[in-house]
Structure 1
Amino acid sequence: MSLTFIIGGARSGKSTYAELKAREYGEKVVYIATAVVTDESMAERVKKHREQRPVSWSTVEMYSDFERLAEYKEFMDNEVVLIDCMTTLIGNYMFDSKINFDTCSPEEVNNLEIKITEEIFSLINVCKANDKKLIMVSNETGLGVVPPYYMGNYFRDISGRINQKITVASDFMYFVLSGIPIKLKHKGEMIKWQEDF
């Protein structure tokens, strides 16, 4: 099992690069799509993503219950798992929680973050248990302005902390900037501060 983490800003080319890595890792790929179509704009984005993927790839649409993946033929029959993307997954969880982020307690947000983190690591664990090559895609949300509303702040903070945890767990990591992938981590390399993370 290996974990490759690909991160970048919106429209940076990270999904395209993740798909190139998936082709490099093997011909048998299952794509886990975390997006939920809520409007015409999202429908168009999903359509474009589908069109750029090889027709031979399997697709599973889900952002939760990853411990059940071993029950999916699409998962078991393929050697490479590509999930795109973690920040969409986080947003879905925040929306589904029905929490009022303008008035909620810090404990409610912390409990939600724990639940999301556990879900993401259940995906990593099921891939490890079934010897899959896992590619995870996420947005870097910490480079822009501070969101002017509570939910945006919580989303940025949760995403940032979860991205750090995925980084520690990853074997390989790339940052994609305007279509250019920059290697940040290679298996066996460890940033000193990560040892106690």
Structure 2
Amino acid sequence: MHRSDLVLGGVRSGKSREALRLAASVPPGFRGAFLATAQALDADMRARIERHQAERPRGWATVEEPHDVVRALEGMATRYDVVVLDCLTLWVANLYLRGEKAAVVIDAADGLARFIALRRVTLIIVSNEVGAGVHPPTEVGLHFRDILGEVNQHVAAAVDRVSYMVAGIPTIIKNALPARDLRGDSS
């Protein structure tokens, strides 16, 4: 049975590393892929993307989709057993910067929540927690924080497990899974 995880945390808190750890616990022979939402718009982002690519397991595919993650996931679910979606923060930013209204972004998040409920693939999702940070000084920053916070809530409600990363240490804040890991071993 497929499961879903949301890994939240601040910047450089270990979110992607935790997603990789969860992905590495899948049974041998499972086909894995990354759904990357980042766009290499500057040298810093290119360096980040390259660093993340170097950390990925050998043999895992990468699909890049900055806007329509649900459509990408629908296609990936027929080819892969496990998908790491990294990350919701950049996906929301891409939609917001494209000029999408908040309601459209929330509708897209609801579409993602519906996909999660279908359990067609084991899905590990990464996102930034923005509710505990500094109050954004601009209207654009405020709107983005509010939209991402709402998207995170919709996705968190849909997934089986939510973990919050602090200094590389995960704290489970929601767990609707039986006492098993991805391999099916009892805890």
Q: Distance in 2 between matches of 1:81 and 1:154?
A: 29
**1:61 CA displacement:** 0.3
Does 1:94 find its partner at 2:96? Answer: yes
Does 1:19 find its partner at 2:12? Answer: no
Give 1:1-197 correspondences, 5 Å limit.
1-26=2-27, 27-69=30-72, 72=75, 74-97=76-99, 112-126=101-115, 128-129=117-118, 131-187=120-176
Give the letter aligned to residue 17 of structure 1: E
**1:144 CA displacement:** 1.7
Q: Distance in 1 between matches of 2:25 and 2:59?
A: 15
Q: Could you list the per-position Cα deviations for residues 42-98 of structure 1 after superposition, in whole angstroms to 9, with x for gaps in the alignment?
A: 0000000000001211110003334433674x542211111011011111111111x
Q: Secondary structure at the residue paired with 1:7? A: strand
Q: Distance in 1 between matches of 2:132 and 2:70?
A: 32
**1:167 CA displacement:** 1.4
Contact 1:33 1:59 in 2 (8 A): yes
Contact 1:81 1:134 in 2 (8 A): yes
Normalization by structure 1: what TM-score? 0.81
Q: Could you list the per-position Cα deviations for residues 130-157 of structure 1 after superposition, in whole angstroms to 9, with x for gaps in the alignment?
A: 6211111100112122111111011111
- Alpha carbons of structure 1 residues 70 and 170: separation in structure 2 relative to 1, 3 Å: closer
In structure 1, runs of 5+ residues without a counterpart are 98-110, 190-197
Greater displacement, 6-15 / 114-123: 114-123
Q: Distance in 1 between matches of 2:165 and 2:48?
A: 19
Aligned residues: 175
Greater displacement, 21-30 / 125-134: 125-134
Question: Over the residues paired in the alignment, what is the CA RMSD in angstroms?
Answer: 2.1
More helix by share: 1
- Alpha carbons of structure 1 residues 84 and 49: separation in structure 2 relative to 1, 3 Å: same
Q: Distance in 2 between matches of 1:88 and 1:158?
A: 12
Contact 2:34 2:83 in 1 (8 A): yes
Q: Distance in 1 between matches of 2:5 and 2:64?
A: 20
Q: Distance in 2 between matches of 1:182 and 1:63?
A: 28
Normalization by structure 2: what TM-score? 0.85
Contact 1:147 1:153 in 2 (8 A): yes
Matched with 2:181 is none
Compare CA radii of gyration and give the structure with the larger one: 1
